[in-house]
Amino acid sequence: MPTYRFTLPTGWSGHVDEDPAAQEGAGFRSDDGFRVHGGISRNPVDAAFAASARERIVDIVQGHRGVSNILEMGEAEPLQFDIDDADAWYTEARFGSEVDSFRTLWVAFQHDGQDYVVTFEGQEPLADRDLAAFEELLRSWEFT
């Protein structure tokens, strides 16, 4: 199994042990509880399900169309940077109501036969500092 590591933004905490790839998932959150939080899932690539990171994001988009509390659903788009040399794709959605909503971002990439999906979410509007912290986490990702 591939292993990976990433750096949590200053003040954030995570449910990650010394070898987070030994688990099927890991979690992280902001320093003030769950204002913003996210998770990582890792599973073997299933070509019949999603043969590429782009297909994985397209499946997420299609799977959320018509959900009763969805207010906006983005399209699959390439991430503007790679994840430790792995091509990455993302999408985002807004859920809830017009007066109380939250945003979820999904980033998918593949490495060494594994399919990774990193999620990030928080109440709307997401603060620029939180989006920058999430990008910092993604940019720090390293397969070991």
Number of domains in the chain: 1
Predicted confidence at residue 2, as pLDDT, reads 46
Contacts (Cβ under 8 Å, ≥6 apart) of 109: 53, 79, 82, 83, 86, 87, 88, 89, 116
Q: What is the pTM of this model?
A: 0.90
What CATH code is carried by the domain that includes residue 45?
A: 3.40.1000.10
Say whether pLDDT at 94 is over 90. yes
Tell me the two tokens of residue 83: 């994840």
Whole-number Å distance between alpha carbons of 88 and 4: 16
Whole-number Å distance between alpha carbons of 65 and 116: 22
Say whether pLDDT at 31 is over 50. yes
Q: Which of the two residues, 80 and 50, has the higher pLDDT score?
A: 80
Question: What's the sign of the alpha-carbon dihedral 74, 77, 83, 87?
Answer: positive
Mean pLDDT value of segment 54-74: 92
Q: Which domain holds residue 118?
A: 4-143
Q: Render pLDDT for 8-29 as a digit per residue (tens, 0 to 9).
A: 888 888 875 555 555 567 888 8
